[in-house]
Amino acid sequence: MPDATTLERPASTVEASLTFTPEQLAKRAIHRRAVEAVIWGMSAVNFDLMLQALIEGGGSPNQVALWSHPPDGRNQTLTPNPNTIYLMPFFDTKIAGPMVLEIPPANGGRITGSIDDAWQCALEDVGPAGADKGAGAKYLILPPDYDQPVPDGYIALQSQTYQGYALLRSDVGSGSEADVAKAVTYGKTVRFYPLSQAANPRETPFIDFDGRPYEANIPYDRRFFRSLARMVEYEPWLTRDKAMIDPVGSLGIAKGKPFEPDSATEALFDDAAREAQAWIDAQRERMFDPPFYPGSRWAVPADHKLIEGNATSFADPDSYPVDARAVTYSMGYFSAKHLGSGQFYLMAIRDRNGEPLDGSATYRLHVPPDPPFELYWSATAYDRETHGLVRDVPRASRGSNSPEIESNADGSVDVWFGPQAPQGKEGNWVPTHTGRGFELLFRIYGPKKNFFEKQWVLPDLERID
């Protein structure tokens, strides 16, 4: 057994405890817990911000946010795809009870996407890569406390939260105006209504955000905690998260208690959120090791444990990658039940020389011939700081379905990124802002087997000037 001297606290610890007053210790604890609350609550706040943007735009829960043209910089969700038509049904089963989401058969159009709970864990994928396999289906989203029999004819999805959303994409084909209009028409055959109205469903309410602001970037200040307080008040505590009840309670975030921090606490929240942002950004750099291709700058923008956890609502009792979740949902949204079946993503934040991507410079991305996809690929630039689409530019992306894009003689494609288009390359150019960094996301929809076998390799971004 150790003797008594080994059980004594080190003198330095005793001295440190005497350095701070009780008030200072309380302030330091709140700051520390506020940093951890940002990290823990990131995916839920990410969802809430999108819901609040719907409400601020004139919508409400149990309605569908729609973009009737591919989104531009006015859509400030995190890393959206500007080469598709988006539909986002937001459900709230506390208000309406079980909700029905009808996905049409893939005839004359194609819907891909997933249904997520408020923590952005995937309940199921839909469309050809989903549970309905392209035949269409009625998905029934059940609230956490639902204990009634499930009627026949539905794919029942038990949600752990009352709120959530589906991210649906309607394929735009060639990307021409005619194909975009066709994709919108097809997308509007999606139906969304309460189960209580199944005998006579209402007309699905679509709220069109085309050409309108939709601000859902993460605010690293006191506003983050207001959003987190809304989520804690509205949603049930999940067993996996009960260790956070006291820490966030010390911040004034507790069920049945108004969230009314004083000005001094709000200033502390501002500082803690900025510290959390800096920590998350540092962790993001680590996400690129190991890369997707050996020695490259491309990486999958999510930890494999997080991908598995999101698909199972973190069923593994020995794994809860909260840090990885914070990194991922600080720069993106949504999760798929089976990532890689319908879509796959690669991200780069540095060029082939290891330098950060600079919006003042010009870069070339060479996409080799015969890319392994069934639908299309796209390459999109996002603001490095906000992770949203670059604002006030004519386009944010080029892809295999871009109408103006030109291929090389061998079928490969060169995409250019920079503040000005290289001469004669306007159709293959993605504009960036001088003085701001950017990051690049390469998407493949309908990836084929040889993509995952890495028989086809995407080169790193090459700086030209």
CATH number of the domain encompassing residue 402: 2.60.120.600
Helix (H) or strand (E) holding 345: strand 343-348
Note whether 253 and 194 are same-domain residues: no
DSSP 350: B
pLDDT in tens, 283-311: 998 889 899 999 999 999 888 999 999 99
pTM over 0.85: yes
- Asked if 109 contacts 170 with a C-beta cutoff of 8 angstroms, the reply is yes
Q: Tally the domains of the chain.
A: 3
Q: How many CB atoms lie within 10 A of CB 314?
A: 22
What is the pLDDT at residue 7?
Answer: 46
CA distances from 95 to 90, 185, 190, 233, 331 (A): 12, 29, 21, 15, 30
Which CATH number belongs to the domain containing residue 227 in this structure?
A: 1.10.3360.10
Q: How many CB atoms lie within 10 A of CB 362?
A: 19
5 in any annotated domain: no
414 in any annotated domain: yes
Residues 6+ apart with CB under 8 A from 324: 302, 303, 305, 306
Note whether 38 and 184 are same-domain residues: no
Note whether 229 and 337 are same-domain residues: no
Note whether 110 and 168 are same-domain residues: yes
pLDDT in tens, 186-220: 999 999 999 999 999 999 999 999 999 999 999 99
Note whether 314 and 430 are same-domain residues: yes
Note whether 235 and 271 are same-domain residues: yes
Token digits for 453?
A: 């076998």
- Cα separation, 410 vs 198, in Å, equals 53
Token digits for 319?
A: 């794994």
pLDDT in tens, 87-145: 999 999 999 999 999 999 999 899 999 999 999 999 999 999 999 999 999 999 999 98
Note whether 255 and 193 are same-domain residues: no
Note down the domain range covering 198: 58-211
Note whether 44 and 173 are same-domain residues: no
